[in-house]
């Protein structure tokens, strides 16, 4: 029971493995042939190694299982997580894509991890596309919460890139970033930066529209003051708050991150 208790405490990564463990522990009706028994034992050992963070051992076992059972989505899913934890992102992507290809119910958490993996690789448009595919799905509560958390994390990352591009006067790409951030979740600061970017691009009427929206809807007094200043004056020095502070720490991002196509 210790092993089950540890699985229950483990995050999303192995929730699917937990259900499989209960299945085999209670007798699933699968024939107790020698190969099937060996599969169960190897799977259990691979999961336990993952719980113990003996990732190289777990990886080896799951890779052996994939070779023997290439259409087992659960095996591919857990191997993907082992790769992800080791920051072997290209291999993780291959495993999670295989789960989606097999059209398993695990395609939903796999899409979540594809988004997380592409975010780590700074391929933000692809990460955005994967997380958006989950937007309309009816998901279990724990998975839905993980998706919301990833959307928030992705939005922060996109905003950092957008502000960095804005500071480098790459306004077209900055605008793409702020639009993506706003699609993930409405945010006054993202809208403010969108308006500022449009102003820099000489799209004055659009900029004025968004400055007015920020002024009327934001609950942040400093942001409202800044919007008012920009509506009245041509020059703006933004307050050192939130995304502007993030901007100063931003850097090292590929300025072509939004050139990726959808997958």
Do 216 and 228 touch, CB atoms closer than 8 A? Answer: no
123 three-state secondary structure: coil
**pLDDT digits over 60-103, tens only?**
999 999 999 999 999 999 999 999 999 999 999 999 999 999 99
101 and 191 housed in the same domain: no
14 and 89 housed in the same domain: yes
245 and 173 housed in the same domain: yes
131 located within any domain: no
Structure tokens at 255: 């300025």
- CA angle (195, 199, 204) in 5-degree steps: 100
179 located within any domain: yes
Q: Among 76, 106, 136, which residue terminates a domain?
A: 106
How distant, in Å, are the alpha carbons of 36, 47, 141, 154 from that of 20? 14, 11, 19, 31
7 and 85 housed in the same domain: yes
How distant, in Å, are the alpha carbons of 14, 53, 145 from that of 18? 6, 16, 19
Residue 186 zone, left/alpha/beta (φ > 0; ψ -120 to 50; rest): beta
pTM of the model: 0.78
Report the CATH number at residue 45: 1.25.40.10
| Pairwise CA distance, residues 255 & 253, whole Å | 6
Q: What is the pLDDT of residue 260?
A: 56
136 located within any domain: no
102 and 6 housed in the same domain: yes
Report the CATH number at residue 177: 1.25.40
Task: Give the domain extent around 50.
Answer: 2-106
Q: State how many domains the chain has.
A: 2
97 and 167 housed in the same domain: no
| Pairwise CA distance, residues 65 & 58, whole Å | 11
| Pairwise CA distance, residues 74 & 10, whole Å | 16
**pLDDT digits over 125-168, tens only?**
999 999 999 998 999 999 999 999 999 999 999 999 999 999 99
100 and 10 housed in the same domain: yes
**Mean pLDDT throughout 227-238?**
69
- Give the closest residue to 116 by CA, choosing from 93, 94, 136: 93
143 located within any domain: no
Q: Among 106, 133, 168, which residue terminates a domain?
A: 106
9 and 71 housed in the same domain: yes
81 located within any domain: yes
Q: Which residue has the tokens 């699985």?
A: 7
């Amino acid at each position: 029971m210790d092993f089950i208790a540890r699985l229950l405490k483990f995050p999303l990564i192995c929730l699917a493995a937990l259900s499989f463990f209960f299945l085999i522990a209670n007798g699933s009706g699968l024939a107790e042939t020698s190969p099937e028994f060996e599969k169960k034992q190897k799977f259990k050992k691979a999961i336990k190694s993952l719980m113990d963070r003996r990732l190289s051992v777990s990886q080896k076992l799951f890779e052996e299982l994939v070779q023997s059972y290439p259409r087992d989505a659960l095996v591919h899913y857990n191997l993907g997580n082992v790769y992800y934890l080791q920051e072997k992102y290209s291999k993780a992507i291959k495993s999670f894509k295989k789960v989606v290809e097999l059209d398993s119910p695990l395609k939903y958490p796999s899409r979540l991890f594809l988004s997380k993996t592409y975010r780590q690789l700074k391929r933000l448009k692809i990460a955005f596309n994967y997380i958006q595919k989950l937007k309309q799905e009816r998901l279990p509560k724990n998975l839905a919460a993980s998706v919301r958390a990833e959307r928030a994390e992705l939005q922060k990352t996109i905003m950092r890139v957008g502000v960095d591009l804005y500071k480098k006067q790459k306004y077209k790409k900055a605008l793409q970033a702020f639009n993506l951030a706003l699609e993930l979740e409405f945010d006054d600061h993202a809208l403010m930066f969108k308006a500022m970017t449009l102003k820099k691009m000489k799209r004055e009427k659009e900029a004025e529209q968004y400055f007015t929206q920020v002024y009327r809807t934001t609950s942040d007094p400093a942001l409202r003051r800044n919007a008012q200043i920009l509506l009245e004056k041509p020059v703006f020095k933004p307050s050192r708050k939130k995304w502007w502070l993030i901007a100063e720490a931003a850097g090292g991002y590929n300025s072509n991150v939004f050139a990726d196509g959808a997958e």
